[in-house]
Amino acid sequence: MNKKNSTKENLETILNENLKLADQINQQEIDVLIHEIKAAKRIFIMAAGRSGLALKMAAMRFMHLGYHVYIVGEIITPAILEGDLLLVASGSGTTSSVLSAVEKAKTQKAKVIAITADAKSILAQSSDNILLVNAATKTDFGISVSKQYAGSLFEQFTLFILESIFMSLWQESGLTKEDLWPKHANLE
């Protein structure tokens, strides 16, 4: 990076790149994910790094709505079974720990939905459905897709799209903010 932008200019870049992705998102893929969330007995979340943080934030919101949500790798996470949903994210679609979790979930006949930037990746091919995010992955060092570093745009948009899914589920539920509050953490 040769030119130093102001923080405001950088913020505008980040927001504009996310808005561009919002215009490209496939509503049918979102509808499938919403349907599978509602149909699942339990929801399991798995991703690595910053994508994992975005999914953990979504897991909290789904729990606030009353869904049974588990983070893969946590000590109290039970076995995944038929009727459960595994929601994973990997921009490249090649993250080995994510692929391993998908393989195991498929042997248990659980549904798998992947959020990825590569529709031709092993992850995309192994999943029941994908939510394609046309963002740069962590190994894309060009600026044609994103001016941001590494997979930042993918990770941000993963959070944004899952927040919008939460809001849709929340609005559909008819629950108020006060209804959700008792599920908010109180051992902070």
Single-letter amino acid, residue 78:
P
To the query of whether residue 103 is one of the catalytic residues in this protein, the response is no
Q: Which of 74, 155, 172, 188 is catalytic?
A: 155
Looking up tokens 């994210």, which residue turns up?
89
Query: Minimal CA–CA distance to 146: which of 37, 54, 14?
Result: 14
Q: Which residues belong to the active site? A: 155
